[in-house]
Structure 1
Amino acid sequence: MARQRLKSDLPTKVCPVCQRPFAWRKKWADCWDDVKYCSERCRRRRNN
């Protein structure tokens, strides 16, 4: 049985809209390099 990673061990980025750090999520495993925003809300607010 594999050990789980601690959240502090996961890679992080800073959202350009809200300036908050966000951590890697499993659903972003295939596209982590393309992820820029922490949430759908920030993605929609990017130009405002």
Structure 2
Amino acid sequence: MRKKNDLPTKVCVVCERPFTWRKKWKKVWDEVKYCSERCRRNKSHNRVSHCE
């Protein structure tokens, strides 16, 4: 079992905050760009304030 600190991370292209790998993204991790469904829906907006 891996510790949370050992999991890969990325930066969300919308809110610019780091997010950690999730098991449901196991097969598509290379394609993941957004930290949440909310950021994915707001991708046309420059920067959202829900994460700040």
Using structure 2 for the length normalisation, give the TM-score: 0.82
- Which protein has the larger Cα radius of gyration, Structure 1 or Structure 2? 1
Deviations 1:7-47 (A, max 9, x none): 11000000011111000000000000010000000000110
Moved over 4 A (4+): none
SS of the equivalent of 1:8 reads helix
CA RMSD of aligned residues (A): 0.6
Instruction: Please state if 1:41 is matched with 2:38.
Output: yes
Runs of 5+ unmatched residues, structure 1: none
> Structure 2 stretches of 5 or more lacking a match?
46-52
Identity score, percent: 69
- Give the length in aligned residue pairs: 45
Counterpart residue number, 1:10: 7
Answer yes or no: is 1:24 the counterpart of 2:21.
yes
